[in-house]
Structures are given as C-alpha cells and as structure tokens.
Amino acid sequence: MKKIITRFAPSPTGYIHIGNVRSAIYPYLVAKQANGTFILRIEDTDQARYVDGATTLIEDTLTWLGLDWDEGADKGGSDGPYYQTERKAIYLEWAKKLMAIGRAYADPTDSETIEKYRNEDNLKKVPYLYRNHRPVTTTEWQPGIPIRFKSDPKPRDWHDEVMGDLHAGPEVQDDIILIKKDGLPTYNFAHIIDDYLMKCTYIMRGVEYLPSTPNYLAIYEALGIEMPKIVSLPHILRPDGRKKLGKRDGAKSVTEYREDGILPEAMLNYLACLGWNDGTEQEIYTMAELIEKFDISKIQTSGARYDETKLLWMNGQWIRKIFAEQGIDELYSRTKNFWPESAANYPIEYRKQVLSIIYDRLKVLSDLKSMTDYFFVDPKINLDLIINNKFLKNFSESELASLLSTSIQALSSIESSDWDANHLQETLNQLLADTDKKPAELFSLIRLALSFAPFSPALNLTLNVLGRDTSLSRLNALRAAILNDGE
C-alpha cells in the first residue's frame, strides 16, 4: 500500500482568501485520514507577483485553521527544499532530459514575434497554437533562452476523482513553456517534477486547471512517470453571482474572519462542507470527524455559492458547542482581543461571568465589544428609551418613579451574600405579584435602567453579574433622572 502524500502548493502572492482554502483543507484531510503526509510547498516562481511576507501569512492561516503540515516550507522534510526558487537546478535538469530525448527545445523566439503569430491566427480565425509556429532550425540551449515542450498532440483520456472520466482532443495540446527566460520553471512544469520527486499521490486543485491537464498528461508521458490522482475542486462562487470568488471580488482573507471573531473550527467546518457532505444530515463537524468522514468521491461537481450568513450561524453553533463541551475557561480563552476597552479594568473572573451569560447571543466574538459595555461602565441615561418603549409609554413619570422605588426597596432587602440568580428571580417574581404589573412592563423598566441597551441577558442574571451596589445605584440614578425630568 502506497503511503498517501498530499500537498498544498500556494503561490506567495498575498493572503489566502476563502475562495482557495479548500485546496488546503481537503488535501490535509485526505493525508490525515490515511496516516499520510501533508506537504506545504511554496510555488514562488513568479517573481513579478511575489509579495513579501506572503509565505508567513499563508503559514499563519494554515496554523490557525489547525492544518499543520508535516513537511514543507521552513519546516523541512526529506524531499526538500520546498520553495520552488530553491529547486531551480532540478527543473533545468529535467528539462534537459526532455531536450536530450527530443521532447523539448530551446526557443529563442522573442515575445513580439509570438504576439504576431497570435494576432495572425486570430485574424485568420484559426486557433492559435504555438506548435504550428515551431521554429524549423534548432537552437542550442543556453541560459536566458526559454525551453518549450515539444508536444505530441493526440486524443487523451484520464480520470478525475471528482469529475469522473474526461477526454480531450489534440486541439488543446501545445508546446508550452517549461523553463522561462529567467531560468525559473512555469507552474505547468514545476508542479509535475515536484509532485513526482515529493511522491505525491494526489493533486488537489481548482477546476481552472482542467483545460491544461492534457498538456500535463503529455509531459508525464514524455517523462515516463506516473501521474498522481487528480482531484479537481469546483470553485467557490461569489455570493451575488455565479462567478468564482476571487480577491478582486473582495474575497476576504481568512485572517480577516479571525479578526472578526470567527472561530477557526467554524471556518474550517463551513468551508469543508461547502461543496462536500458525507451523505448524512450532519452539519457540525469537528476536525477529527472531518478526518474520519471525508470522502473525495462525495465532493460536489458544481460550484458552490459562498454564503456568509450560514458561516455566521455555524460560528454561533461553535461558540455554544465550545461552551457546552469545554466550558467557560476555554471559551474565554478565545475572546482575548474582543472585549471593549473598558473591560480591561475588571478581573478575569468578572469577564468570565459576563461571557457566561452573554455567549449565546454572540454570532461573532467581536460582538462582545458592542454587547457588553454596560457591564463595565455605567450606561448613559436615555429617557427617550423609556418614554418610547412600547410597554412603558403609557406610564406617567410618577408611576415609573414609584415603580422604581418599589423595585429598589425589594432588591435592597436582599443581603449581598444572598445576591444570586435564584434569590433574584424569587424577588422579581414577588415584585411582579406585589405591583400587579406585567413582566413586560416591570422587567423592561429594570432592564433599561441597568443597561440602556437594545437587549441584554435574562434580568436575574444581569442583576447577579452586575452586583448589588451597581444594580441599585443604576436604578436610583434612573429614578432621580425621571423625577428631575418631571419638575
């Protein structure tokens, strides 16, 4: 049984956006479920598009998602180096092999001439194929001259693990560039050599490579090496259309979602299940479950529209799942950078209490900023919120003030030591009975006095976390403001 080896081979031209993370996730899952090796190879042969720091960005993203690579990049491994620029000599050697057997040639033709050929063909309305313009005289290769593959056009059939049996005619096979003028290989050539030397058993990449596969087939054949299994991944589509999602469409980087407070588990879960499912009705998957259940043959053949709403829903599910299964400490550890500034002055234990009563309202962790400020600073009194409240607008100011007085009296009768959620609920229930008010009326008033927020957790819990002193002082403050306003 051959060891399963997969790879993620990004080009360091910027961040990893959500449109292409799946080509990292799936190979990782395939490798892990077979106890195989997952390689990170950096395809940095395009000097013009190279972006400084992109490799680090890519590594950070993978690490954040939990996609640890076994070999590659700076980590090393037995088949390195894993930066293509460092493998320059290897590609040249293989290109020379092809030249030696007459399957590649040095081509000094300049780009203007090539452009001319193309234009002529376009004008004649015949398909442009460079092999029809192949130089008749041979040139000896020397540095600075590109090397082209000498194609052998014929019908080709192959199998794609997702798309099934595919076929292409000779009309799409051409003399593609193997080694560029700058001495570096093209993707078309480099990935074939690398996958072979790194013993990759699967090539998982976007469907955009489908049309050039016949050319790759020809190179494999000429080289006499076996092609790994091909897994073409359908595109992730823009939310508003059918086009593939790309950076130009404002595709967010994975790290942007991290900054918004999306959990890596949710991101991974959502992306893995976009265009794949195991045939059951399961929606929430842990990494371990994905590794266990992932199945290439169940990858969808059509593109899938990216739907942020569902990602948000899934993030909420994960927030609750982590709280339920791993507890408040674990959930709290994920919230480090998401608290309002004012929270800094409060002890960790207090913040954990706040989190434990607010967490099921969070869609993203950054919601903490706007949802919890009244736990850390006294809210600004806004009488309009009281006057316009649909349950309170029929009360006169004196009625509101006396309702607050009664509430303050009842709540202050609770000793500090008894200020817990149960006692508070009992007191609130009693207060309801004594005042003969509806919950909507009494509770709205107290809730607003405490938070002046559009929403907040259950009243007894809010009172409990806020504490006796703060709660009473806020109620008093509102009462004073109402009386003051009435004069």
What residues between 67 and 106 interact with RNA by CB under 7 A? none
Q: Which of residues 387-446 bind RNA (CB under 7 A)?
A: 391, 425, 428-429, 432, 439-440, 443-444
- By the rule CB under 7 A, 454 interacts with RNA: yes
Separation between Cα atoms, residue 464 and residue 417, nearest integer Å: 11
Separation between Cα atoms, residue 343 and residue 348, nearest integer Å: 9
Separation between Cα atoms, residue 302 and residue 293, nearest integer Å: 21
Separation between Cα atoms, residue 440 and residue 392, nearest integer Å: 9
Cβ closest to RNA, residue 250 vs residue 486: 250
Phi, psi at residue 390, to the nearest 5°? -65, -25
Q: Which of residues 357-376 bind RNA (CB under 7 A)?
A: 360-361
In Å, what is the CA distance from 189 to each residue of 149, 156, 170, 176, 216? 9, 18, 19, 9, 8
Strand partners, 179: 147, 185
| Residue 182: other Cβ atoms inside 10 A | 14
CB of 168 to RNA, least distance (A): 5
- By the rule CB under 7 A, 139 interacts with RNA: no
Cβ closest to RNA, residue 166 vs residue 410: 166
Cβ closest to RNA, residue 3 vs residue 115: 115
Cβ closest to RNA, residue 3 vs residue 154: 154
- By the rule CB under 7 A, 304 interacts with RNA: yes
CB of 369 to RNA, least distance (A): 15
| Residue 396: other Cβ atoms inside 10 A | 10
Cβ closest to RNA, residue 3 vs residue 310: 310
Q: Which of residues 228-267 bind RNA (CB under 7 A)?
A: 235, 237, 241-244
| Spatial CB neighbours of 148, under 8 Å, sequence gap ≥ 6 | 104, 105, 106, 107, 130, 175, 176, 177, 178
Among residues 274, 322, 365, 403, the one that binds RNA under rule CB under 7 A:
274
Query: Helix (H, G, I), strand (E, B), or coil: what is residue 484?
Result: helix
Among residues 64, 158, 196, 209, the one that binds RNA under rule CB under 7 A:
209
- Where are the strands (E) in 216-345, listed by range? 229-233, 236-237, 304-305
Q: Which of residues 455-474 bind RNA (CB under 7 A)?
A: 455-459
Cβ closest to RNA, residue 272 vs residue 408: 272
Cβ closest to RNA, residue 137 vs residue 345: 137
Cβ closest to RNA, residue 116 vs residue 298: 298
Among residues 226, 281, 349, 415, the one that binds RNA under rule CB under 7 A:
281
Cβ closest to RNA, residue 165 vs residue 487: 165
Cβ closest to RNA, residue 111 vs residue 394: 111
Among residues 64, 313, 350, 376, the one that binds RNA under rule CB under 7 A:
313
Token duo for residue 162: 């997702």
Cis peptide before 127 (omega within 30 of 0): no
Among residues 19, 27, 36, 43, the one that binds RNA under rule CB under 7 A:
43
Among residues 298, 370, 382, 388, the one that binds RNA under rule CB under 7 A:
298
Cβ closest to RNA, residue 283 vs residue 484: 283
- By the rule CB under 7 A, 135 interacts with RNA: no
- By the rule CB under 7 A, 124 interacts with RNA: no
CB of 464 to RNA, least distance (A): 12
| Cβ contact 61:15 at 8 Å | yes
Phi, psi at residue 8, to the nearest 5°? -115, 125
- By the rule CB under 7 A, 65 interacts with RNA: no
- By the rule CB under 7 A, 196 interacts with RNA: no
Query: Helix (H, G, I), strand (E, B), or coil: what is residue 37?
Result: strand
CA atoms within 13 A on the CB side of 1: 5
Separation between Cα atoms, residue 121 and residue 260, nearest integer Å: 51
Residues touching RNA, count (CB under 7 A)? 86
Separation between Cα atoms, residue 472 and residue 285, nearest integer Å: 45
- By the rule CB under 7 A, 131 interacts with RNA: no
CB of 487 to RNA, least distance (A): 28
Question: How many angstroms separate the most distant Cα atoms in the chain?
Answer: 105
| Residue 158: other Cβ atoms inside 10 A | 16
CB of 209 to RNA, least distance (A): 6
CB of 51 to RNA, least distance (A): 12
Among residues 295, 310, 413, 484, the one that binds RNA under rule CB under 7 A:
310
| Cβ contact 224:98 at 8 Å | no
Dihedral Cα 116, 121, 123, 125, nearest 10 deg: -170
CB of 259 to RNA, least distance (A): 21
Q: Which of 222, 216, 164 is nearest to 195 (CA)?
A: 216
Region of 258-266, 293-301, 336-344, 476-484 interacting with RNA (CB under 7 A): 293-301
